[in-house]
Structure 1
């Protein structure tokens, strides 16, 4: 089922989750234990992140060698497993950076074979490995370009001429948004205009970057509605679990942590104390979001389900 269909049928706020594939050559069983945990809360869909190749330079007896490899492959296989083993709709992330449009089309066709109906279209990390475009290949520069490509496939328009008679795809397209603005945007108003372009290109719902002050989400929602964006906007949350995240989260995701959260974390004596503080903070956020009828709440859990178990227990699930 499509994400927008889940949202339309829901009588209360839905809960969804986002996980990350194991590192290259790693063990999938730890990830499956996470899925086992979160599946108990009946999520209508689970997002699976995708990762482009990375460039690394290694010193060898023959000199410095350049290696290009994907650190976390496996998105497609994990999607198939979740959708068929757990009967939960999988939402793979599809990226611009690091992939050609031709590779994207192949990936989307594979998703069609697996009857996966949902994708989240993202620009991806700007420092990802950029493949040289040879033999007439092309790349999507921005997420709006990727949305347009997926929407074209939904209309039966493919890149490959020999696929001219192929049936149209049927993807529900989600996109990301940033309540505190994207780092590369000059201001929030500009960012909302870019978001509207993605909606006009065919995106049907939005998932926000994490935030730790609900006022950012509600203010962002009001501004989006005023700008004519009327699709569902799902708030994204991540439970704070370690003191180190007080610096890593703002540095990596360019968001603000309120002092009402950071002060007690700084004073905490143990990791367990930090986790309790993080869960309590998330509980307050979730309670308000549910009270104000957010369509769903999307949790960035990656490969650690313990904080979610603690939060769900506190919420009474």
Structure 2
């Protein structure tokens, strides 16, 4: 089923997993998925890995996840390091394997590089990839958005114009980058509506696993750390276990507010670990997503 059709019927809970660096790590990813499937996720997504590396594992895990979890899957596709023909081949293989959903991304520069440069014969922008998918396949297609603006955008208005272009090129729904202050999400949704963007905007939530992790991720994507969270990160800077437990409580409160305000769903960035998200879902006890042992 297309995920945009799921969004018409319910408010999905979903997870994002990442491919391991080697094939030996695939069982651990599938194990984490197996541990989280007891909460009845509506779909899962599988990333391309940093800089477009480990893409072969993305295809394998995407196909295996559909079998293991028995839910819809969404494969990430980026413009990094591949020609149009190579990406077309990936799409053909996913289509043949029964995958019905993809998320089209430009992608980050490869490790050690600071600027994205498309390969010769590649797609320069996510919008170009979106157009190609819509013209040649019947996938349901998602795109990314940034409540606080993309780090490369001139300003918020220019960023919103580009998000609107993604929708015009065929994005059926949007998934946000991580954020820790819900006000940015609510403000973005209002601005998007005012700009004529009428597709669902699903918030992406990354539970704190450690102080260093959050500070690294927020620096990379330009997300703000609220002062209250910042104080907690300082408090647990050298205590990852306590930081993780704090992260469970913080994300529980964050998602509860989002859910109570009527968000169309919640997409958890799992980082291939089930502990935090399982406890958050236990705390929330959302209808249809309570543990089924």
Query: Is TM-score (shorter-chain normalized) higher than 0.5?
Result: yes
Name the one with the larger helix percent. Answer: 2
5+ long unaligned stretches in structure 1: 55-69, 154-168
5+ long unaligned stretches in structure 2: none
Residue 124 of structure 1 deviates from its aligned partner by 0.4
Partner of 2:69: 86
Quick check: 1:145 aligned with 2:134?
no
Partner deviation per Cα, 1:193-213 (whole Å, 9 max, x = no partner):
001111111111000000000
Aligned residues: 281
Residue 126 of structure 1 deviates from its aligned partner by 2.6
Partner of 2:242: 273
RMSD over aligned CA atoms reads 1.8
In 1, Cα distance between equivalents of 2:26 and 2:69: 15
**Is residue 180–residue 226 contact of structure 2 (8 Å, CA) maintained in 1?**
yes
Q: Would the alpha carbon gap of residues 72 and 96 (structure 1) be closer, same or farther in structure 2, given more than 3 Å must change?
A: closer
**Is residue 210–residue 238 contact of structure 1 (8 Å, CA) maintained in 2?**
yes
**Is residue 22–residue 72 contact of structure 1 (8 Å, CA) maintained in 2?**
no
Larger radius of gyration: 1
Partner of 2:39: 41
Q: Would the alpha carbon gap of residues 37 and 198 (structure 1) be closer, same or farther in structure 2, given more than 3 Å must change?
A: same
Partner deviation per Cα, 1:240-271 (whole Å, 9 max, x = no partner):
11121243122222111101111023123732
Partner of 2:148: 180
Residue 109 of structure 1 deviates from its aligned partner by 0.7
Residue 114 of structure 1 deviates from its aligned partner by 1.0
Residue 86 of structure 1 deviates from its aligned partner by 2.3
Counterpart pick for 1:76 among 52, 59, 70: 59
In 2, Cα distance between equivalents of 1:292 and 1:255: 21
Q: Tell me which stretches of 4 or more aligned residues in structure 1 moved more than 2 Å.
A: 24-27, 51-54, 70-73, 126-133, 268-272
Higher RCO structure (Cα 8 Å, ≥6 apart): 2
Partner of 1:189: 157
Partner of 1:59: none
Residue 304 of structure 1 deviates from its aligned partner by 1.1
Counterpart pick for 2:207 among 239, 250, 260: 239
Q: Secondary structure at the match of 1:212?
A: coil
In 2, Cα distance between equivalents of 1:131 and 1:216: 31
In 1, Cα distance between equivalents of 2:118 and 2:186: 39
